[in-house]
Amino acid sequence: MLIRRIKCLGYLGARYNSSHFVTTPIFYVNAAPHIGHLYSAVIADAHCRYQRLKYPERKVRLCTGTDEHGTKIQQAAALHKVPVATYCDQISERYREVFQNANILQDDFIRTTEERHKRAVAHFWRTLNSRGHIYSAAYSGWYCVSDETFLTDSQLKLDEATGARYSLESGHPVEWTEETNYMFRLSKFQDDVIHWVKQEARIRPAKFEKILLDTLSEPLPDVSVSRPSNRVHWAIPVPDDSSQTVYVWLDALVNYLSALGYPDEEYSAFWPPAQQIIGKDILKFHGIYWPAFLIAAGLQPPGQLYVHSHWTVDGQKMSKSKQNVVNPVQAAEQYTMEGLRYFLLREGVAHSDGNYSHVKALRILNSELADTLGNLLSRACAKTLNPRQIYPSAQAEHLAEILGSLDAAKRLQESLLQLSERCAQHYESNHFHLVADTAMATLHAANNFFETSRPWELKKGAAGSNEPRLETIIAMTMDALRLCGIVLQPIIPQLATRLLDKLSVPATQRGWNYLAESFANTAHHGGSRQLNEQSSAMLFQRILEENREKEERKPQPAKRSKAKKKERRETMS
């Protein structure tokens, strides 16, 4: 019956209207941000940047923020001997700073301690209550403070030696709790949630849909949605009953509504969220509680949950006790923030855990951003080859001749022709690693073309001097760089901007539709344009490992290819 009502109201459709609301989880302020947190935000940011690029008519909105109530925060503040409010201010500010440094283009940063949020939670609670979905009951069970959740016996493991119990999933300790609480009739919404989960592409990657459906194959118990105020005082009071405070997960989930101005009508312009990015550890809350709460309140559940796995460090779970928590600010000192963004999106895949390792980061950043992308730009802009410092336009007759005679040119052309469609397909599924892969394959083809076409032999004054052909080769190379720059904007926004600035690509010509304009299918911009002198052609410097620094700084002639040696000789002459 409820399902039918939902269908009638179109609750399960409405994924892609003209607005596109995207959220990250809100982050607990019990500890400073680490790369796992940044990863959730970077995925959401790259997703939104792509949406803006591809669908300029769409109203895209990205919200993030901090989750500041509950026992966990109370305890963390007490441990640091800081008043809770001050503690929340300090850590929340660190998230804000990291996201700003990482260029997360958020439209709002919500804190659950803000008045606008408390008002939204009170309204949401009253709505659930007035619809008869909340009741009071004596409740007892195992509570896990770290995960802020009650767990059933089957979700626990017992340490025989100490008698202590832990959450099977997270490994965090639990404590026995008996209290009078308000309960939410979750059991009533089981069929609705199953129906919602089963809609096409509702939960991605698909493996997480299966996990949810496994959980949903057992009867859902009702959930406690309040705690006694004398136990959890750092929380939002239950409306009309100050002896109870709102359960932190109900409080936290409502942030997605309060960030849009709920309960004021304005929220409906962006509701429901098109995509909610979450980590795998909070799947139950977003994949079961959240749609149930929303349906119970008469609101539409989200269009899609995009679930990502976790980062381990050198194969180990990140944890304070192992002292292996990677701080994004420190990581950015090593790799630059753009380098860190690139590494996270290049190396991370949503369906399984990613391994964060310094060696891997160095290898990827040096070979892809420095050697493949950066180096090609420097070579195409080198004053010796390009003394007029221009982005030339390809000359038709030379272009035809080069494409007809050089396999490397044909391969580059084919790669460019497929770039837009392939990358769009990967972006649509948040497969950022495949976008990077595709862009790097194109840049390899461009490097190969540049090397094979030996432009340094065509310089004025040299024996085989042929300026128009030289300019055509540079134009083709710069077209490849420009197109890859456009494609990579969501992943490395600052580096891509610097690249496009250097090539003097007007701000109005950086949208997705400009991927169709290159030597590969059209004469793209008429005459040649002057390169931007203010912008450096040095995009990304190789990162030297400390102990190898001295070695690497020495010239290494033996490794240079014959062609490069020749180019160097020519350009130095």
Q: Would you call 102 helix, strand, or coil by DSSP?
A: coil
Cβ closer to ligand MSP: 43 or 295? 43
Taking the least distance from each CB to ligand MSP, the nearer of 93 and 407 is: 93
Nearest Cα to 100, choosing from 112, 110, 91, 109? 109
Q: CB under 6 A: which stretch of 93-101, 248-256, 406-414, 447-455 binds ligand MSP?
A: 248-256
Cβ pair 443, 487 in contact under 8 A: no
Nearer to ligand MSP, 252 or 423 (CB): 252
Q: Check if the beta carbon of residue 225 is closer than 8 Å to that of residue 289.
A: no
- Give, as ranges, the residues between 104 and 133 that touch ligand MSP (CB under 6 A): none
Residue (318 or 349) nearer to ligand MSP, CB: 318
Q: Least distance from C-beta 127 to ligand MSP, angstroms?
A: 18
Quick check: 37 binds ligand MSP (CB under 6 A)? yes
CA-nearest of 364, 410, 379 to 539 is 379
Which of the residues 262 through 301 are near ligand MSP (CB under 6 A)? 278-279, 281-282
225 lies in the binding site for ligand MSP (CB under 6 A): no
Q: How far is the CB of 518 from ligand MSP (least distance, A)?
A: 37
Q: Is 21 in the site for ligand MSP (CB under 6 A)?
A: no
Nearer to ligand MSP, 36 or 302 (CB): 36
Q: Do strands 59-67 and 529-530 pair parallel, antiparallel, or not at all (unpaired)?
A: unpaired
Site for ligand MSP in 80-99 (CB under 6 A): none
- Pick the binder of ligand MSP from 43, 128, 253, 337 (CB under 6 A): 253
Q: How far is the CB of 277 from ligand MSP (least distance, A)?
A: 7
Q: Min. distance of Cβ 505 from ligand MSP in angstroms?
A: 34
Instruction: Name the token pair of 404.
Output: 């007809």
Binding mask 472-501 for ligand MSP (x = CB under 6 A): ------------------------------
Neighbours of 356 (CB within 10 A): 25
Q: How big is the site for ligand MSP, counted in residues (CB under 6 A)? A: 19
Q: Of the two residues 44 and 458, which places its CB atom closer to ligand MSP in the complex?
A: 44
**Is 26 near ligand MSP (CB under 6 A)?**
yes
Stretches 7-15, 31-39, 101-109, 199-207: which one binds ligand MSP (CB under 6 A)?
A: 31-39
Q: CA 456 from chain center: how many Å?
A: 41
Please report whether residue 311 would count as binding ligand MSP according to CB under 6 A. Answer: yes
According to CB under 6 A, which one of 27, 262, 267, 289 is a site residue for ligand MSP?
27
Whether a cis peptide bond, with omega within 30° of 0, leads into 219 is no
Comparing CB distances to ligand MSP, the nearer of 253 and 515 is: 253
Q: Which residue is nearest to ligand MSP (CB)?
A: 279
Q: How many residues does the chain have?
A: 573
**Closer by beta carbon to ligand MSP, 53 or else 282:** 282
CA nearest to 488, candidates 376, 368, 404: 368
Site map (CB under 6 A) of ligand MSP, residues 390-409, x = contact: --------------------
Residue 263 token pair: 């309960």
What is the C-alpha separation between 385 and 440, in angstroms, rounded? 24
Q: Does 307 bind ligand MSP (CB under 6 A)?
A: no
Contact 349/433 with Cβ under 8 angstroms? yes
Q: How far is Cα 570 from Cα 573, in angstroms, rounded to an integer? A: 5
Q: Are strands 311-313 and 316-317 parallel, antiparallel or unpaired?
A: antiparallel
Provide, rounded to whole angstroms, the least separation between the CB of residue 59 and ligand MSP. 23
Find, among 309, 302, 307, the residue nearest to 275 by Cα: 302
Q: Does 25 bind ligand MSP (CB under 6 A)?
A: yes
Residue 36 Cβ vs ligand MSP, minimum distance, rounded to whole Å: 2
Q: From the list 186, 193, 252, 515, which residue makes contact with ligand MSP (rule: CB under 6 A)?
A: 252
Contact yes or no for 484/373 (Cβ under 8 A):
yes
C-alpha dihedral sign at 427, 431, 436, 439? negative
Smallest separation, CB 212 to ligand MSP (Å): 15
Q: Is 331 in the site for ligand MSP (CB under 6 A)?
A: no
Closest CA to 338 of 438, 448, 446, 485: 485
Instruction: Return all residues near 388 (Cβ < 8 A) that are at least 6 apart.
Output: none
Residue 488: closest CA among 50, 99, 102: 50
Q: Looking at beta carbons only, is 110 or 369 nearer to ligand MSP?
A: 110
Within residues 176-195, the interface with ligand MSP by CB under 6 A covers none
Distance CA 61, CA 1 (A): 33
Binding residues for ligand MSP restricted to 40-59, rule: CB under 6 A? 40
Is 274 or 481 the residue whose CB approaches ligand MSP more closely? 274
- Candidates 310-318, 467-475, 489-497, 546-554: pick the segment binding ligand MSP (CB under 6 A): 310-318
Closer residue to ligand MSP in complex, CB, 258/413: 258
**CB nearer to ligand MSP: pick between 107 and 281:** 281
DSSP string, 146-176: TTTEEE-GGGEEE-TTT--EEETTT--B-EE
Residues 6+ apart with CB under 8 A from 496: 485, 486, 488, 489
| By the rule CB under 6 A, 345 interacts with ligand MSP | no
Instruction: Let me know: does 358 contact 439? Beta carbons within 8 Å.
Output: no
Q: How far apart are CA 160 and CA 331, in angstroms?
A: 40
CA distances from 246 to 71, 152, 182, 187, 252 (A): 12, 20, 9, 19, 10
Q: Which is nearer to ligand MSP, 139 or 208 (CB)?
A: 208
Which residue, 9 or 85, is less far from ligand MSP as judged by CB? 85
Q: Are the C-beta atoms of residues 232 and 70 closer than 8 Å to each other?
A: yes
- Contact positions toward ligand MSP, by CB under 6 A? 25-28, 36-37, 39-40, 67, 252-253, 255, 278-279, 281-282, 310-311, 318
